Structure 1
């Protein structure tokens, strides 16, 4: 390898749902511009999890992606009982000395460092990039609408601001004087933002405020969306910030294990468009009551389903994000459930090869937590959705796919904050057999074709990468 080989250093944050998009971004860049090399510098809370190890070991040896797991930080340096976003931010922040050492090593190797591409929770590393004279870009792995809100977040006030919005919480519920209208975006209501706008007294508010303010310090923001999906939000963002739509960045294949291949074999024996895929992502969990209502609702619907079952949790919906569950999730299913749904349903423990499941001809639709990775994977495979958000920006994503894109159904929550079994059954039947299914499927096919077009020879995202690469190759570090 010649010294002139341009190298991009990428810094993800803990958690496979953040590591995977960064790796897929690296793959896409190298597919379009194979003269580059990518070095992943990975902060860690502790020894890598089995899933992280599997993901890294499965990197194709034929492409120039290398990785270094930075020394894990001292857990005593972390605030006690911290929320997940704060843990991710703090892990990166305490890893900055190790990151600086890794960059020094890279700079002395036979490569030419040209840029640092950071996860949205790794924005504190912008300071390290400045020390090395490197441009710092943030990879924002969610939609352009969510990015617009993130850039606006520091402007929100408890009292009347310039935009006339009043933000307050009453009995724990977020209230807005009127929907938040950001340039180019659909109006955002309180229920869409309830997990994003935090009380000023909370640590989470401080974390989000810090992240959003530092986004503006980056030399550019790469957003995982594409022009034909969010034309107006992207246009509005590019009027105020250096925003680069590079999506859809999605997995094209999963790591197939013997256990996960069983569900694909089961799908092979099902009729075309007959199965509902049910999954809440890499760490999403339901309360015990909601878990049971979902199970009974799937049973009541009478339709075929493939359910990635995670054990219920009485804590926060994302509390298992950085911690592997130890319980056998199938033991928590209602008594007799597996017997009653045998042949019609397939329950898989904790993980399934999602890309292959969504691509399979037997899969009709996807009941999802609306994480943006899962949403884009469904778009790429043309599968309509049942939107069941749990936390973070998922409620905003759910509003986007159900009301703006009109490719998703949204189950109604009862007075106890639960989606009851009858409601589960109703939305499943609507998706699997109702007239709405055909119209949502038609719209999703349009987005699927647009996703392919984005990375055609003259596609919008291909041109975006060309613009970025031209900038990076011109640097003379």
Structure 2
């Protein structure tokens, strides 16, 4: 009888921030065990981007990692009832819409003579896959592409909702904005030593409880406690108290003989697969002094308003410091490019004459840059970041302190962690006028850049702390490191299921 190769099925959520760490994790698994096969099943919202194609290029994947792109889902096919749909809702509905195709893929894999399915592993907004895991009697794991802080919040949210249910007259209120709360009210997340203001939480959790965004997000969070485990892209020395708190929250599960949370990070790209703007960025950095350049990027989908784009440009110019800036087309929603490709030239939206006036001071590139290589370059001394978790880990791994500029999703929570807990980031102050999010003015931008980039006690202390975290991140991945041990525990459990 032909031997079946062990196989893990991974179901992704749409978006590069989910694709990148899962593909990297698949590479780690197959490197550790050359008999293991990983099958990536990818729901898609619209056509794949060039970045997605470069990551899934077969020449860059080992032969025992294969993938299937499920039939494209169009936004018009999603039943969205909210007036301003959240990306999280769109991602969750895309996966839900793709379940029939996913069922076909699983059926084909399970009846195959080549593979023995060990488990199904899915991204944090793909929790509807849990029903298929139960149908096919498979072990189920969530790959949580954010950190333990956001996971702790997600596990705690159903508890907050249950408390709210006891007050029937408040049921239509926003869970975190009912009449007893204000923007100044603080809320504690289990395991985090500092409190959060209400507006720090992701938008779906702040929506009215009757909205699709809130119901969808709550449903996702409730399912996390039903899986066999959660793999978190973090490491023990980064979020030790939060990891312990998650285990404490999970102690009431039926099966407590194995861990619930597996901190297996940091999982980041070793090199950027997309070659766009690569040579021009690295050649320019090669000609700059050590640690002199501030790198500015808002991730794979972050966008700024036209007014804020102008203020950043003038602030950079006013600071006098070197910079490398990845610019996108402006938008009034901070995550507008996350699930939508942009085709216009974003440099046309910069202030008139800015590029010419700063050509000796900085480099401006449109839409995309080789972030991993930039953060690892000796000329890079700071990172103005949207605080997406992938970018956060990349900055920590390469020992680059940050200026936190969160835009959407859980990025405000990450910013609080970086600034107030880990103390490796600064955050500019916003000027709140009629716009609820406010605008950061050019003078404040220049002030924060100088605090970050100039030699002073504050900057030196931040660099020392992030160097310590960088060293701890490297240690976690060694043979005796905490993340390697967590991964070994997981793989032993999976092999026992054969």
| Shorter-chain TM-score range | over 0.9
Task: Tell me if structure 2 keeps the 8 A contact 1:167–1:177.
Answer: no
* Cα 1:349/1:200, change in 2 over 3 Å: same
SS in 2 for 1:317: coil
* Cα 1:311/1:178, change in 2 over 3 Å: closer
Shift of 1:150: 0.5
Shift of 1:55: 1.2
Q: Distance in 2 between matches of 1:174 and 1:328?
A: 41
**Could you say which residue in structure 2 is the equivalent of 1:78?**
78
Of 180, 188, 198 in structure 2, the residue corresponding to residue 190 of structure 1 is: 198
Q: Distance in 2 between matches of 1:158 and 1:136?
A: 25
Matched, 1:233 2:242: yes
* Cα 1:75/1:36, change in 2 over 3 Å: same
Matched, 1:329 2:346: yes
Q: Distance in 1 between matches of 2:43 and 2:104?
A: 13
**Could you say which residue in structure 1 is the equivalent of 2:134?**
130
Matched, 1:406 2:409: no
Corresponding pairs, count: 472
* Cα 1:472/1:284, change in 2 over 3 Å: same
**Could you say which residue in structure 2 is the equivalent of 1:304?**
322
Q: Distance in 1 between matches of 2:444 and 2:41?
A: 45
Task: Tell me if structure 2 keeps the 8 A contact 1:12–1:40.
Answer: yes
CA RMSD between the two structures: 2.2
Q: Distance in 1 between matches of 2:55 and 2:364?
A: 23
- After TM superposition, the structure 1 = structure 2 runs for residues 136-151 of structure 1, keeping only pairs within 5 Å, are 136-151=140-155
Shift of 1:361: 0.5
Task: Tell me if structure 1 keeps the 8 A contact 2:4–2:115.
Answer: yes
* Cα 1:428/1:125, change in 2 over 3 Å: same
**Could you say which residue in structure 1 is the equivalent of 2:285?**
267
SS in 2 for 1:335: coil
* Cα 1:447/1:2, change in 2 over 3 Å: farther
Q: Which moved more, 1:399-408 or 1:109-118?
A: 109-118
Q: Distance in 2 between matches of 1:368 and 1:435?
A: 22
* Cα 1:365/1:129, change in 2 over 3 Å: same
Q: Which moved more, 1:149-158 or 1:200-209?
A: 149-158
**Could you say which residue in structure 2 is the equivalent of 1:394?**
411
Q: Which moved more, 1:153-162 or 1:325-334?
A: 153-162
Q: Which moved more, 1:251-260 or 1:32-41?
A: 251-260
Matched, 1:420 2:423: no
Of 260, 283, 287 in structure 1, the residue corresponding to residue 301 of structure 2 is: 283
Q: Distance in 2 between matches of 1:229 and 1:317?
A: 27
Of 350, 369, 378 in structure 2, the residue corresponding to residue 361 of structure 1 is: 378
SS in 1 for 2:450: helix
Q: Deviations over 1:45-90 (max 9, x none)?
A: 2332222112101553445211011122354431256321111101
Q: Distance in 2 between matches of 1:174 and 1:18?
A: 33
Task: Tell me if structure 2 keeps the 8 A contact 1:30–1:63.
Answer: no
Q: Distance in 1 between matches of 2:208 and 2:182?
A: 9
**Could you say which residue in structure 1 is the equivalent of 2:104?**
101
Of 216, 219, 238 in structure 2, the residue corresponding to residue 207 of structure 1 is: 216
Q: Deviations over 1:303-327 (max 9, x none)?
A: 000000001113x211221111121
SS in 2 for 1:228: helix
Of 294, 299, 302 in structure 1, the residue corresponding to residue 312 of structure 2 is: 294
Task: Tell me if structure 1 keeps the 8 A contact 2:277–2:370.
Answer: no
Shift of 1:424: 0.3
Normalised to the residue count of structure 1, the TM-score between the two structures is 0.94
